[in-house]
Amino acid sequence: MASERDLFSTEIVNRGIESSGPNAGSLTFSVRVRRRLPDFLQSVNLKYVKLGYHYLINHGIYLFTIPVLLLVFSAEVGSLSKEELWKKLWEDARYDLATVLAFFGVFVFTLSVYFMSRPRPIYLIDFACYKPSDDLKVSREQFIELARKSGKFDEGSLEFQRRILMSSGIGDETYIPKAVIASSENCATMKEGRAEASMVMFGALDELFEKTRVRPKDVGVLVVNCSIFNPTPSLSAMIINHYKMRGNILSYNLGGMGCSAGIIAVDLARDVLQSNPNNYAVVVSTEMVGFNWYQGKERSMLIPNCFFRMGCSALLISNRRRDYSRAKYRLEHIVRTHKGADDRSFRCVYQEEDEQRLKGLKVSKDLIEIGGDALKANITTLGPLVLPFSEQLLFLATLVGRYLSGGKSAGNNASSSKKPYIPDYKLAFEHFCVHAASKTILDELQRNLELSEKNMEASTMTLHRFGNTSSSSIWYELSYLEAKERVRRGDRVWQLAFGSGFKCNSVVWRSMRRQKKPSRNPWLDCIDRYPVSLTQST
């Protein structure tokens, strides 16, 4: 078991020149102690490895019986000469028409059942990410200054938010509703929530319908996810009313499911499409920043103020086979992990009121550790589905060997601390879109999965440019990759998101063609400036 010391990391922070006091004019430094992600690849649970291989075992009958049948058939045919083979195929068969027809009928029936029972492929036709107007752009210094002028925070709260912002990895061009800090009134109202929802959702959907040339009335399934803001009528009803969608549309509204709900929404849309052939589904993922704004003094509830920013994504998904030629991506795998049965995981991100009855989102100090456990379970389940067989074999062999040696020599520290083989996920994916939660989490994920700066570039640059846009952040990251023209035909994209509950979800897409720079993209006006150095920007 890892010691308590292993769960923390230290960092020397330059505080600048002291302006007053006995040390005026001198450089000052402090040591920052942070919780880090547990080295979850050192403690992989065999239960999740078994769960991943369960998907493969379901198709084991095909993997084992087909080679045997081919072997038997080859042996039978190989023992015959050409004359004998021709005799069996033609001379014997022409006198037994019933046998030939029966064989042909069984073959056609088997082939029909196989193709009819296969799940329809799910295609991502296109997607859009909303880019707010420049008048909503706020730098970090402007954020603190406007917060001070609003009169909602004391000096201690302002200083705490300033320290978090400067080390967050967030840049100076993120977007915040003006009502949040420009007004002394309460901004967490239904009116302000609906105004923000209309702005971001309709903005993303207008762009999506324009890019895909699909009419709103052609959409048969609508899934909307927003964790904090859930009005009545629902957000999905707002969209249906605004675009005058058809009366038999299947609509769903997911609330309270955190930053990983975007993948849950895709999973739900996939399941609905499987039972409704030849249909379109639209998935909208967003979060209302203003409605979640906290105006009190509780430090753990001030953290979301520093990270969450405006954003929204809209996807058009299809199960129509004729959309194969124009689709951007094909859905390959979705793996969902939920740790809500554990009380600590359930309460690590919790909406409640503080002592002054002010509503906010409370973030536990154990979030990093809990997130690491969920990530460990998720990627261990995903591994058997995506990793090359050689990587799976090495990983499983060393993992089982480590458990066996640990069981035989309990108390042998050298055996129990032996490092297992770490699968190379770069062999399974060409592109990584990890939820842009914070710089600390992204750095720890990069270290644990042994990813390069290039692998993490889309995530870190999205955090810098747009901040944490909750469930839509993984789509801003894919937009970054497309704007850089890095996605080629056959490339696999891994989107990984995590959020309250505690949940960790993965979705894998395969590119259908080389993705050229799109005409509409939130990065187009600034992509030439990226990547930037986060060390300099913070």
| DSSP secondary structure, 406-464, as one string | HHHTTT-HHHHTPPPP---GGGT-SEEEE----HHHHHHHHHHHT--HHHHHHHHHHHH
Does the annotation mark 242 as catalytic? no
Query: CB of 188 within 8 A of CB of 359?
Result: yes
Does the annotation mark 464 as catalytic? yes
Does the annotation mark 59 as catalytic? no
Bridge partner residues of 129 (DSSP): 313
SS3 349: strand
Single out the catalytic residue among 279, 468, 505, 521. Answer: 468
Single out the catalytic residue among 129, 187, 319, 435. Answer: 435
Angle at the Cα of 497 from the Cα atoms of 493 and 500, rounded to 5 degrees: 170
Distances (CA, A) of 78 to 60, 84, 88, 137, 538: 27, 11, 13, 74, 71
Bridge partner residues of 497 (DSSP): 505
Single out the catalytic residue among 431, 448, 455, 505. Answer: 431
Computed from CA positions of residues 440, 442, 443, 444, in that sequence, does the dihedral angle turn out positive or negative?
positive
Single out the catalytic residue among 129, 187, 226, 259. Answer: 259
**Overall size of the chain counted in residues:** 538
Does the annotation mark 521 as catalytic? no
Single out the catalytic residue among 378, 464, 504, 505. Answer: 464
User: Where would I find the H helices in 357-388?
Assistant: 367-386
Does the annotation mark 431 as catalytic? yes
Instruction: Write phi, then psi, for 410 (nearest 5 degrees).
Output: -60, 135
Which H or E element spans position 116? helix 97-117
Does the annotation mark 338 as catalytic? yes
Residue 151 burial by Cβ neighbours in a 10 Å radius (0-12, 13-18, 19+): exposed
Catalytic residues: 259, 338, 431, 435, 464, 468
